[in-house]
Amino acid sequence: MKVAIIDYGVGNLGSVARSLESLKVKPILVNRPADINLADSIILPGVGNFTECAKILENDGWSKIILEQVNEKKKPILGICLGMQLLASFGLEGSLNQDSEGVKGLGLIPGSVINLKELGCNLSIPHVGWNEINLENKFESVFYEIPKNTDFYFVHSYAFLPENLDHIIAKTEYGISIVAAVRNKHIWGTQFHPEKSSRAGLKLLENFINISIC
């Protein structure tokens, strides 16, 4: 089982790689788009600004190969934090025209990424810390054997609003209800950091790996 962690120059990939290694999975740190072909599944991490990261994916050839591998070859993908947000159709973070739809994302899960303040959150931004999640579907495979109301670690200022509510598989509360995890067939995303979420996070990564093998 080969899992590609996309290294497009943003974020700390070490904690994701170490988490996979603890699960006896050898990660492939991929810094060339073509090398995604070597993997059975994909993890897209991300830290920073939506617009900047979306432009890197597009300009450096990542977007094309990711869409090819996920849409045509049906490889499972897990987006983490900003990586989850990049699965959306559009994001407003860093967009020069805040009246527009924003900057184009991968569009693997239709929806938009919007600032928590604009969504009505009156608590301190960014949202940093441990929050319990509420599963929308207790049978969701990526949360297999993870108890309901388990805490996961969040760091974010923007939230993903899917167009199709059926794509929401978990939520959390931080002044408002926030989408914590999404799924569209073999495409998953978590707003929280599983690699920083202790045993529950490791279990989620293990579940993703097991799903990928099937």
Output the pLDDT for position 143: 97
Please give the CATH architecture assigned to the domain spanning 2-213: 3-Layer(aba) Sandwich (3.40)
Q: Which amino acid is at 137?
A: N
* Residue 46 pLDDT: 87
Q: What is the pLDDT of residue 150?
A: 97
pLDDT digit string, tens, across residues 12-57: 788 999 999 999 998 999 999 999 999 999 999 988 899 999 999 9
9: confidence class by pLDDT, cuts 50, 70, 90 = confident
End-to-end CA distance of the chain: 11
pLDDT of residue 48: 87
Helix (H) or strand (E) holding 85: helix 82-85
Look up residue 31 and give its two tokens: 């810094």
Residue numbers annotated as active site: 81, 193, 195
Query: What mean pLDDT is reported for the chain?
Result: 93
Report d(CA 73, CA 153) in Å as an integer: 32
Phi, psi of 200 (to 5 degrees): -65, -40
Under the banding of pLDDT at 50, 70 and 90, the label for residue 98 is low
Domain boundaries, the chain: 2-213
What pLDDT was estimated at residue 190?
98
Using CA atoms, how far apart are residues 52 and 48, in angstroms rounded to an integer?
A: 8
